Amino acid sequence: MKYTWLVEKYLEGELSGEALRKFELEILRKPEVAEEVERVRSMHHFMMEQHGKLDDATDIWRALGVPHPEDVPSVESSELVEWVSGREERPA
């Protein structure tokens, strides 16, 4: 059984009371749950570490492997919503 959703809630401090107690017992009783907690914790740490290395959108595009990120046009989120909805034409 996958516990990722529950692990995320646990690590974010969103479990309390009986739910928290039961989950902590699951961690102690089932090695696969403890491994999932460590996997998600490690993944979260890695993502936060990588996020700290990205200064702007160009860095993000570069990290995603875009060959010339400086050529990617900047788009406001409201414009994107209009384009995706078909209410406005995309610029040439």
Q: Give the integer Cα–Cα distance in Å for 39 and 36.
A: 5
Q: What is the pTM of this model?
A: 0.52
Which sequence spans correspond to the domains of the chain? 4-85
Token pair, residue 77, equals 């989120």
Work out the average pLDDT over 47-65.
73
Report CA torsion sign: 72, 78, 79, 82. Answer: positive
Please report, rounded to a whole number, the percentage of residues in the chain having pLDDT higher than 70: 77
- Please spell the DSSP secondary structure of 20-77, one letter per residue: HHHHHHHHHH-HHHHHHHHHHHHHHHHHHHHHHH--SHHHHHHHTT-S-GGGSPP--H
pLDDT at 2 over 70: yes
Q: Is the distance from CB of 47 to CB of 14 less than 8 angstroms? A: no
pLDDT at 80 over 90: no
16-49 pLDDT per residue, tens: 999 999 999 999 999 999 999 999 989 888 877 7
pLDDT at 91 over 80: no
